[in-house]
Amino acid sequence: MNACQETAEPAAHALPGLVQGPHGEPSALLRLALGRGPVRTAVVHPCDSPSLAAVSAAFRGGLIDPVIVAPRDRLRPLASAAGIQLNGIEIVDVPHSHAAAARAVELAAHGEVQVLMKGSLHTDELMAAVVPPESGLRTGKRISHCFLMQLPSYARPFIITDAAINVAPDLEQKCGIVQNAIDLGHALGLALPRVAILGAVETVNPHMRSTLDAAALSKMADRGQLIGALVDGPLAFDNAISVRAARLKGIASPVAGRADILVVPDLEAGNMLVKQLEFLSGAASAGIVMGARVPIVLTSRADSVSARIASCALAAVLAIRPVGSGHTKENV
């Protein structure tokens, strides 16, 4: 019996999937996003073909109402050479990527856009504009990243966090990371997500900090310091996702084998796990930054257009839309 077979559950108890139906039907995530309507999105410096193609596709598909913040003189030849139509998309002209990040954050802080989307600039450059307290985008929450993933060989989608923002989080930071992922699970329809705090082993080892943090986070959930989820750990990856592996190891847990959220010990472990699942197992993914005033789509330069569109769909589900807003658009 494989992992897919042994963890199959009714769709009502699973996160929305990212894969099209057998006859090309939109994914569950895309249907959920389209039901909310397009969201005003500042696209920061999309000065390469994949970024521009994703903006155009997400716009034409009804997911986002984009505002491109980038040097206009770079966009004109790029769009023309790639055969990408940007008619109907507003352009905010800025001299360079640093200015694009600053201006996009300003638009979000003033409520003129409800989502930020990274283009071809570096992650550090965009997040450096978001993180300072004076940006207007900080809240009392930890800023962290979540991947929603779906594998062809596994029955249910799941969330992995944090594989992109927090390098080596301590216990307090992990608490914020876990709560953000729980909040994402709630937003995607799970009333009580099951959270596995991952380690190399499923027992507490005083010499392995990740197992100590996992045990502490589990107890914090028991005491109401983490809200709205079943949390257990440490759990090794196999017994977090496989009922059979958990049973063979004698682990009695409502989370083991059925995790909706996988919390990695640090960024290195998470990044390697995500990329292995994508490039070796054919996983579909969507990524989002949580904890700021607006969702942030933080794409990788290696992401496909479909992955970028899925991330836009995730942001569209999370975004809070203003009532009765109107905008004047300027074309390239």
The answer as to CATH 3.40.50.10950 being correct for domain 23-139+292-322 is yes
**pLDDT classification of 176: cutoffs 50, 70, 90:** very high
Q: Residue 68 pairs with which residues in a beta bridge?
A: 43, 91
| 284-290, strands of its sheet edge to edge | 90-93, 64-70, 39-44, 115-118, 296-297, 284-290, 144-150, 158-161, 261-263, 194-198, 230-235
What is residue 168's DSSP assignment?
S
Buried b or exposed e, range 245-258, using 16+ CB within 10 angstroms? bbeeeebebebbbb
pLDDT 10s digits, 49-71:
999 999 999 999 999 999 999 99
- With cut-offs at 50, 70 and 90, classify the pLDDT of residue 329: very low
Q: How far apart are CA 315 and CA 272, in angstroms?
A: 24
In one letter, which amino acid is 277?
L
Of residues 75, 141, 149, 128, the one with CA closest to residue 291: 141
Using a pLDDT cut of 90, give the percent of the chain over it. 84
- The percentage of the chain sitting over the pLDDT mark of 70, rounded to a whole number, equals 93
Choices 3.40.5.90, 2.40.50.140, 2.130.10.10, 3.40.718.10: CATH for 142-289: 3.40.718.10
Stated as kind and residue range, the H or E segment containing 64 is strand 64-70
**Domain parsing of the chain, residue ranges:** 23-139+292-322, 142-289
pTM of the model: 0.92
Task: Give per-residue pLDDT as tens, 242-274.
Answer: 999 999 999 999 999 999 999 999 999 999 999
Average pLDDT over residues 209-221: 97
Residue 283 CB coordination number (10 Å) = 24
- On the question of pLDDT at 109 being above 60, the answer is yes
pLDDT at 10 over 50: no
